[in-house]
Structures are given as structure tokens and as C-alpha cells.
Amino acid sequence: MRPLLRPLFRWDLARSAKSTCGPFVVYHDRGPTPYDTSIVESVTAAIAFLRRYAPRRCTRIERDMSVLWVRKATRPHYLLDQGVCVLPVSHVLAGNPSALAFTLIHEATHARVAKAGIEWRPSVESRIEHLCLKEEERFALHLERRGFDVDAIRAWIERARTTVVEHWDTNG
């Protein structure tokens, strides 16, 4: 499976539009200009949010995870082999930079774990997932101390904890 998926992935990327958002390279499905611009603007807004409220964390994310791939029907996940963060276009275009910032924090944790040489195995999957959620929780606390209402995101994190979802793409 693995040798086949890699070229397919490249082929998919080659058909995608490519933009840059600060230090990130953002691939996305081709669309009319307003659509492309909206994707770039939304990612830029999420990065600006991170940089404003957690500059050191933002720098770390940029270092660990520099390629984003915005796709139609998908869920947020990190492509381990390619080092690419995949984001659903509906989430990117939802007009909620802080929610997107939380997703970037989550997926960048996967990137950091992979960079640290921790190999993905089913036995460590839930532990890694909890680590990602812990990073989200830390950011929520950080925002709360700055006067943000984080009840909704906290509730989301708690729900995610009880249902620890598979985010890793072990084939890709």
C-alpha cells in the first residue's frame, strides 16, 4: 500500500493550487479566486491569532509543520510520511480563526511527536492523542487567563478525550 500512496499523494498535490501563508505552504483544491483568497486569509488569521497570544508556540508550530493541505471531504489529520497537515475546507472557511488555531496546535503536536522519532504504533496511539488534547487544553487555559471564554472549546476537548479519535494516517 505504502509505495502506491506516495506517488498518488504527489499527483494530488500537483493538481492542487499552492499558496504561501507566512512560513506555511498551503495546498488547496483549485477554485475561483475568491475561494483561494479566502483559504489564505483564514489560515493567515489563525496564524495571526496564535502569534498574538502564544508567539513561542506559534514559532514552534511553524518549525514542526510547514505544509498544510486544505481538502474538501476530510477531517483534520497529520500525514505522517509526508509531514503534511490536512485540514477540511469547511473548517478553514468557517470564519473562526481561534478554532483553526486549536486544530493547528493539535496537528502540530503530531508533527512534533513524529519529529522526536516516536514511531506510530497502535499501542501508543491513544497516548499521543491525549498529548495533543493536553496541548489544546494548555492553550485554552492560556486564553482563559487572558479573558477569553473557553467553555465551548473545553467541552469539545472533554468530549474528544472520551472518544479519542484516530487522527493519524498510517497509510499515507
111 binds Zn ion (CB under 5 A): no
For Zn ion, the closer of residues 59 and 126 by Cβ is: 126
The b-or-e profile of 72-85 (16+ CB within 10 A means b, else e) is eeeebbbbbebebb
Cell of 88: 477540511
**Contact 84/67 with Cβ under 8 angstroms?**
yes
Considering only residues 28, 57, 112, 167, which one is a binding residue for Zn ion as defined by CB under 5 A? 167
**Contact 72/43 with Cβ under 8 angstroms?**
no
The b-or-e profile of 20-29 (16+ CB within 10 A means b, else e) is ebeebebbbb
For Zn ion, the closer of residues 17 and 67 by Cβ is: 67
Site track 113-132 with Zn ion (rule: CB under 5 A), x = hit: ----------------x--x
Window contacting Zn ion (CB under 5 A); options: 43-51, 63-71, 83-91, 164-172: 164-172
In the complex, minimum distance from the CB of residue 159 to Zn ion, in angstroms, rounded to a whole number: 14
* DSSP, res 24: E
112 binds Zn ion (CB under 5 A): no
Residues that bind Zn ion (CB under 5 A): 129, 132, 167
